[in-house]
Structure 1
Amino acid sequence: MTRISTFSQGQALVSQMLRNQEYLRTQQTRVGTGKEGDNLKEIARDANVLLSTRSVSSRTDSYMGANRELAIRLELQNSALGGIAEIADEFRNDLIKTVNLNSGVGLVDKMKDHMDRLVNLLNTTLNGKFLFAGTRTDVSPITVSSTADLLALPSSAAAFSNNAVKLSQRLDDNRTMEYGVLASDVGEPLLDAIRRVQQFNAGTLPTGAGAYAPAGAFSDPLAENQVNFLVNEFGVALNAIATARGAEEMNGIHMNTVANQLERQQEEINFLDIFTAEIENVDIAEAIANLKSGETALQASLQVIGRLGRLSLLDFI
């Protein structure tokens, strides 16, 4: 008589059923997550490459976050520097108009307005930190707030409290960019130009202006020495304009550098994402086909085990 079953055969069928069950679970996970597995064991062959790729991607993403913040800062700096350059232009135009009109009426008031605006721009902050203070970001980079304060100082340079350290930032593993602008560098020429006009009006001859004595309040009409003094200050105004525009242009270069850096880093992130996906992600069509195959195999295993469990020698007697 043919033997119906043995214990070892039953165990073999159960083992095969469990393997089919595990295979089905794996395929369900692949279809559900779109990934090759839920841990690195599933992709052991490419695990080191994947970990290295993730590390590079994470580091690049970190640089991008810092560079985006820097881009915001540079935009704010650009606005402030542009404003300072505009004040310098207006200052020179005020001198020219005063000479052309041969009247000093309103000139000092305009100087006060220019100074107030300049001080406000130099005290620009971002997240509570002063942009133009060097690394002393918690301290206002300019200490004067009125004409009296400015005239009481021994020089315009004494009005600045920023340090001499310009801020810099690492853009990637291989490049560091110095982007900081110091209040004293960009603001002192204009502040000094304003101070010289105020000094003269207050009766004090500015440095190098001895030929235009006596100093005194600008009159209407202007005295000859007053006209000559103001004409001489055109050159001082041009220096202030050149300084402000130069700082604005350099800041613009830094803005372009950061924008290009962010573009390159985004391209790198995109490439790394694709590379990672080729390792981690499954072919969905293939995974679905495997899932259906696994379901069929498990169902067949269960049916065979079920039929064997119902068999009896009595059926053959």
Structure 2
Amino acid sequence: MVTRVATYTNHTLLSDLALRNAARVTDLQNQASSGYKSRDYSGIADSTQRLLNLEGEYTRTEQYLRNTTQAKLRLQSMETAVDSMITIATQMKTLLIQASSALQGDDVNIRGQARQAMEQVANLLNTNLDGRYLFAGGRSEEPAVDLDKIYAPDNYISDADVTLTDATTLTSLGITSGQIQIVSTDVDGNSVTTTVNYNAATDDIGDLRDAINSVTTNGAIASMRGLGGEGDPRLNIENVGNGSITISESGVGNLLTVLGMEKIPNPREDADYYDGDQLILNARVDDQYEVSYGILADNPAFKKLIQGLGVAAGTEDEDALVVAIGFISDAIDNLPNVQGQIGLDISNIERFEARHEDFKVFAAQAISDIETVDVPLTLAELSQHETALQASFISISRAADLSLANYLR
């Protein structure tokens, strides 16, 4: 085919239209096969910045959702653990009330039941999720509760009918001079025997307490406090750690008899069983917001439950069991508040979770609108352009056949 001056303009126009149509057909074929408008950003230059912004926010939103999911799972596990503790506390209170009944007391193995309940509570406080102990604060790689320390220290306590203060003299109580032997055994089975002398003529209860506490190797401490922290002060002689203690009288002394010293657990106010720290965990749930969440195993509600179970696990003394009921009743009153706090944390996290879920749906759709094509519509448009391209080829072919001879014919 020879392009002449007379036909050059038409030929160039037809060729240009055909080439553009062919390029469009190629683009539409690629879009129809891949589902995307372009294989690189240059194909969507007018929307590139908006796409990059949306992709960045989508990625951040996914991370926030991972954070909320992780925090919510931890809190839900903690909520379940606290719910189980409420059940345990309620059951043990019922058993303790039964044990105080003359008709049913012999049928209830209260000490065995209390020890079993104590172990269950310890296991719940040592709840582990994905390698983290949830009630241990920041020291989540170690159990929150030390099982060897969870029981109340082995303890001798004076009779409630004997009124004592530090200034009460031994003579006024009818105590004769003598000595007591204290045998203390630690959790590893190592024992120490120590003799403590007392002089009835010169000593008072404060002197006796100081004499016991001054012997640093005996593994025992003496203090004045009521049973369960209530009532008149009573003399307590207890193991320093969490082993056992045995006290006996030697010589002519009668101190243990006069004071009515009996082995009854009497928990202190501390939470020696707790091995965690005081760090409250945070979860980043939004650009400008962190949620503090979690409960520590030394929470007063848990401590009350452990103290009550510890008393019940160590004695069948009626006065002590009344104290145990008091501790456990306090725990029953306060554990729902702990559970409510956890539920509030979950609700707070879920608000941000719902917001991020909504944005994720929006962003995903916006990104899809920028990047992808409607394949059926693309195929329809492709068919139109292919038809136009074929028409362009036919037009070019026919224009090439135009000549004066053909025209005159």
Higher relative contact order (CA 8 A, sep 6+): 1
Shorter-chain-normalised TM-score: which range? 0.7 to 0.9
Quick one: distance in 2 between partners of 1:187 and 1:175?
A: 30
Contact 2:93 2:328 in 1 (8 A): yes
Report the secondary structure of 1:171's partner residue: strand
Query: Normalization by structure 2: what TM-score?
Result: 0.62
Q: Deviations over 1:196-222 (max 9, x none)?
A: 3345x2xxxxxxxxxxxxxxxx2xxxx
Mean CA deviation greater in 149-158 or 173-182: 149-158
CA distance in 2, matches of 1:36, 1:110: 70
Question: Matched residues in 2 for 1:271 and 1:117: separation?
Answer: 46
Between 73-82 and 101-110, the greater mean CA deviation after superposition: 101-110
Per-residue deviation at 1:239? Answer: 1.6
Contact 1:142–1:160 at 8 Å: present in 2 too? yes
1:249, distance to aligned residue in structure 2 (A):
1.6
8 Å contact kept, 2:308–2:325: no
Code of the residue aligned with 1:293 in structure 2: it is: Q
Per-residue deviation, 1:164: 0.7
Amino acid corresponding to residue 296 of structure 2 in structure 1: L
Alpha-carbon distance change, 4 to 259 in structure 1, aligned in 2, over 3 angstroms: closer
Shift of 1:145: 4.4
Query: In the TM superposition, what is the alpha-carbon distance from 1:45 to its structure 2 partner?
Result: 2.2
Alignment of 1:92-131 (within 5 A): 92-101=93-102, 103=105, 106-131=109-134
Q: Hey, what's the Cα distance between the residues in 2 that align with 1:246 and 1:83?
A: 14
3-state secondary structure, aligned to 1:24 = helix
2:277 is matched with which residue? 163
User: 2:136, 2:144 within 8 Å by CA — same for their partners in 1?
Assistant: yes
The alignment's C-alpha RMSD in Å is 3.2
Q: Is the Cα–Cα contact under 8 Å of residues 68 and 353 in structure 2 kept in the other structure?
A: yes
Whole-Å Cα distance in 2 between the matches of residues 22 and 174 of structure 1? 48
Residues 87-125 of structure 1 deviation map (CA, whole Å, 9 limit, x = unaligned): 222222222111124636511111111111111111111
Q: Which residue of 2 aligns with 1:192?
A: 307
CA distance in 2, matches of 1:168, 1:86: 29
**Rounded Cα–Cα distance in structure 2 between residues aligned with 1:112 and 1:197:** 8
Residues 144 and 150, structure 1, Cα contact 8 Å, conserved in 2: no
With structure 1 as the length reference, what TM-score do the two structures score? 0.78
Query: SS in structure 1 opposite 2:42?
Result: helix
Q: How does 1:135-174 map to 2 (within 5 A)?
A: 135-145=138-148, 151=154, 153=241, 155=268, 157-174=271-288
Q: Report SS of the residue matched to 1:109.
A: helix
Question: Match for residue 57 of structure 1?
Answer: 58
Q: Which residue of 2 aligns with 1:206?
A: none
Q: Within 2, Cα distance between the matches of 1:147 and 1:287?
A: 71
The within-5 A match list for 1:1-317 is: 5=4, 14-101=15-102, 103=105, 106-145=109-148, 151=154, 153=241, 155=268, 157-185=271-299, 186-199=301-314, 201=315, 218=316, 226-282=317-373, 286-304=377-395
Higher helix share: 1
Aligned residues: 291
How far does the alpha carbon of each residue in 1:273-306 deviate from its partner, in whole angstroms, 9 at most, with x for none? Answer: 3333443444556533431232123223434555
Listed one character per residue, the Cα deviations across residues 26-63 of structure 1 (whole Å, up to 9, x for unaligned) are 12233334443333323322222222122222211221
Tell whether the 8 Å contact from 1:170 to 1:176 is kept in structure 2 after alignment.
Answer: yes
What percentage of residue pairs aligned between the two structures are identical? 24
- Contact 2:68-2:349 at 8 Å conserved across structures: yes
| Pairwise CA distance, 1:14 | 4.8
Distance 1:247 1:269 in 2: 33
Q: Is the 8 A contact 1:112 1:147 kept in 2?
A: no
- CA drift of 1:12 comes to 6.3
- Closer/same/farther in 2, CA of residues 83 and 306 from structure 1, 3 Å limit: same
